A and B are shown apart, each in its own frame.
Chain A
Amino acid sequence: MREIHIQSALARARGLGSAKSGSRHWWLQRVSALALAPLSVWFVISFAALLSADHRSYSEWIGSPLNAVLMILLVIVLFYHMSLGLQVVAEDYLHTDWTKLFAIIAIQFGSLVLAIASIVSILRMLT
């Protein structure tokens, strides 16, 4: 993947840039948003159609490889995008260093737990 550079070529050559992660967080939030746009449209339509489905037709739907793959993709990108977004909210509104640090760690752990719980459930329903 080609990284975008906000610095000028001269600044990059001198090696004088951000002491932290620079534009990486911003860039990954955009890339995940781009992936999430078609996936979320697919999910909302499928979810709405499945709202009145019984367990058998639900299992058949999610057990098909195509739906399972798309669902796993959705869950990975969704929770990644969510943790990036909530991190910015925590950074903006929490002004004490340690509460900010703990909130960000909690957001990242929580997102990971939710993503893994979802993926394991999807895999269990594969037929």
Chain B
Amino acid sequence: MVEDRRPLSPHIQIYRPQLTSVLSFTHRVTGVALSAGSLLIVAWLVAGAAGPTAYHGVLSLMRSPIGLLLLFGWTFSISFHLCNGIRHLFWDAVRGFELRTIYASGWTVVATSLVLTVGLWVAGFLFAAKL
């Protein structure tokens, strides 16, 4: 195959991971994960329109251990993808390209998305306990 003879860039294993490349990769991974998560939104809406039985089926799937684990992963994914997406929009406006700024905004994204993830779950549990 012609494709196999195309030049390759050096293999990813020989690079020392840097914050910049790790966050870039994480942005893509969380985007793909959120695409899978969008199926849950569709299920939630379709089941809601179908009636109480289907709706409660989807709810109990979400409240199962695997469901909660997936929801936790999607909470982190949406938090990270949103924060890092805003970082990308600043770059698109040609702002924040100095190396120091790139690292500062990168660590800000990491911290903010972790705080948002934990915060949303704490708020969720407090809200559920009040009901």
Which residues of A come within 8 Å of B, CB atoms?
30, 33-34, 37, 40-41, 44, 47-49, 51-52, 54-55, 58-59, 62, 71, 75, 78-79, 82, 85-86, 89, 95-96, 114, 117-118, 120-122, 124-125
- Once A48-B127, A82-B35, A86-B35 are accepted as A-B contacts, the answer to whether A121 and B55 lie under 8 Å apart by CB is no
User: B: which residues have CB within 8 A of A?
Assistant: 1, 3, 6, 28, 31-32, 34-35, 38-39, 41-42, 44-46, 48-49, 51-52, 55-56, 59, 62-63, 75, 78, 82, 85-86, 88-89, 92, 120, 123-124, 127-128, 131
Complex contact B51–A55 (CB within 8 A): yes
For the complex, give the distance between the alpha carbons of A39 and B120 in Å: 16
Question: Is chain B's interface secondary structure helix, strand, loop, or mixed overall?
Answer: helix
A85: chain B residues within 8 A (beta carbon): 31, 35
Contact of B38 among A33, A51, A82, A89 (CB under 8 A): A82
Query: Nearest residue in B to A74 (C-beta to C-beta)?
Result: B41
Q: How distant is the Cα of A117 from the Cα of B123 in the complex, in angstroms?
A: 31
- Cα-based distance from A33 to B91 in the complex (angstroms): 14
Q: Cβ of B41 and Cβ of A44 under 8 Å apart?
A: no
